[in-house]
A = this chain, B = another copy of it.
Amino acid sequence: MAEPRETGPSGRAQDGEFARIAAILAGLPPGEGVVVGPGDDAAVLRPREGRDIVATTDTFVEGRHFRRDLLTPIEAGVRLAAASLSDLAAMAAEPRWALLSLVAPASWSGADCESLERACARALFDEGAAVVGGNLSSGDGPLVASVTLLGDVERGRAWTRSGARPGDLLVVTGCPGSAAAFIAAALWGNPPSRARAPRELDARVVSPPCRVRFARALAASGGVHAAIDVSDGLAADLAHLCVAGGVGARVEEAALPVDPPLAAAVRAITGLAGQERGPLPAGEGALITRLQLGASDDYELLFALEPAQWEECARVAAQTGTPVARIGAVTDGDALVLASRGGGEGPLDAPGWDHFRDRG
């Protein structure tokens, strides 16, 4: 239980929890289906008939999920929103409401905390989710920011991780590995600096594109048997999808998407900065594959698609401005195989991001 604490003689009510919540939401219109919004003991929300509720929660810990020397408070807030929106995209759900929580240490000014929360609230709002409640605490230690995001989806139509079938195409959106490449480039020298990451990559990583509209449109056309968001890393998230479906996968190394910003980041990391754009020299292959498959929180989608639906998927992708790539296929059994550029085959094995693996 909380220890009683008195208010100082200054009585700065404007610094109080209620005033701060109001400041975070200033300028944002109330959401749809909000019967009681922030400021009561709980929010009251009116679900739409014929829909299931989809709920996810994400937490960002300073120094762990973001570095303050690499991201501004606004950017951290935007990425936190992206993390939770990505979970809803992976369920083909529509974002509706959110609750934001912050544990703010003294090392963060009130203005910086507010910037983070406001940016998060705005990014959620832009995708259809209104902030309807939350929590503000002080605390020693790193800043901890959390979002619980609620959405909805046509009853019984949510995508899940399970359901992939042998023969399905494996499709990813965007360019997984981008977040890892950004971090690698930024940490390449001392002090860390994101100026070493290519500018287009920087823009994509600090403000990840939202895949909700793509997922909603693709869900309407059908053919997705299983989906997951790429937040641990492509190999780790593919492993989750295969375990959930009781299937294996074969990924073609040459089919993993590399766009110019990711290629430029690899050049920056390997000291090839300044060279003209073009195919990467062969020696860069190992590094780029490691970035593409390894731990990287890209907030892209990975899904198993009925092969006959590929053209429709490509149409939806074009319509929504979403890069998509077929990277392999679902297989019988449980093996995860990487077919390398050179023609050989080997186990697909790159560690994901598991917070407790290293703890005793």
Contacts and interface: CB of A to CB of B under 8 A. Distances in A.
Interface of A: 1-8, 11-13, 15-17, 20, 35-36, 39-47, 49, 51-59, 61, 63-67, 71, 79, 86-88, 90-91, 93, 97, 99, 101, 103-106, 110, 132-142, 144, 146, 148-151, 153, 155-156, 158, 160-161, 179-180, 182-184, 187, 205, 227-229, 233, 244, 294-297, 351, 353-360
B144 A8 contact: no
29 contacts: A1-B79, A1-B179, A1-B182, A2-B353, A3-B67, A4-B184, A4-B233, A4-B295, A5-B358, A11-B357, A12-B357, A13-B357, A15-B359, A16-B354, A35-B52, A39-B161, A40-B91, A41-B56, A42-B87, A43-B56, A45-B52, A55-B132, A57-B99, A57-B133, A136-B355, A138-B355, A138-B356, A141-B141, A141-B144
A347 to B, nearest CB: 14
A110 to B, nearest CB: 7
A182 B17 CA distance: 25
B55 A4 contact: no
Contacts of A149: 42
The 6 tightest CB contacts between A and B, nearest first, are: A141-B141, A42-B56, A61-B139, A41-B90, A4-B295, A148-B148
B296 A20 contact: no
Contacts of A139: 61, 63-64, 141-142, 144
Given A182-B1, A294-B4, A357-B12, A148 B103 contact: no
A50 to B, nearest CB: 10
B297 A65 contact: no
A262 B333 CA distance: 64
Given A53-B53, A106-B359, A187 B142 contact: no
Contacts of A65: 1-2, 137
A57 B12 contact: no
A44 B54 contact: yes
How many copies of this chain sit in the oligomeric assembly? 2
Nearest to A1: B179
A139 B356 CA distance: 10
Contacts of A64: 2, 137-139
B59 A43 contact: no
Given A139-B141, A141-B140, A57 B2 contact: no
Nearest to A187: B3
A183 B61 contact: no
B93 A17 contact: no
A296 B1 CA distance: 8
A34 B161 CA distance: 16
Contacts of A297: 1-2
Contacts of A44: 52-54, 91, 153, 158, 160
Which of A43, A53, A149, A150 has the most C-beta atoms of chain B within 10 angstroms of its own C-beta?
Answer: A53
Contact of A160 (B8, B40, B104): B40
A164 to B, nearest CB: 13
Contacts of A358: 5, 7-8
A35 B357 contact: no
A244 B39 CA distance: 9
Nearest to A88: B42
Contact of A103 (B1, B16, B59): B59
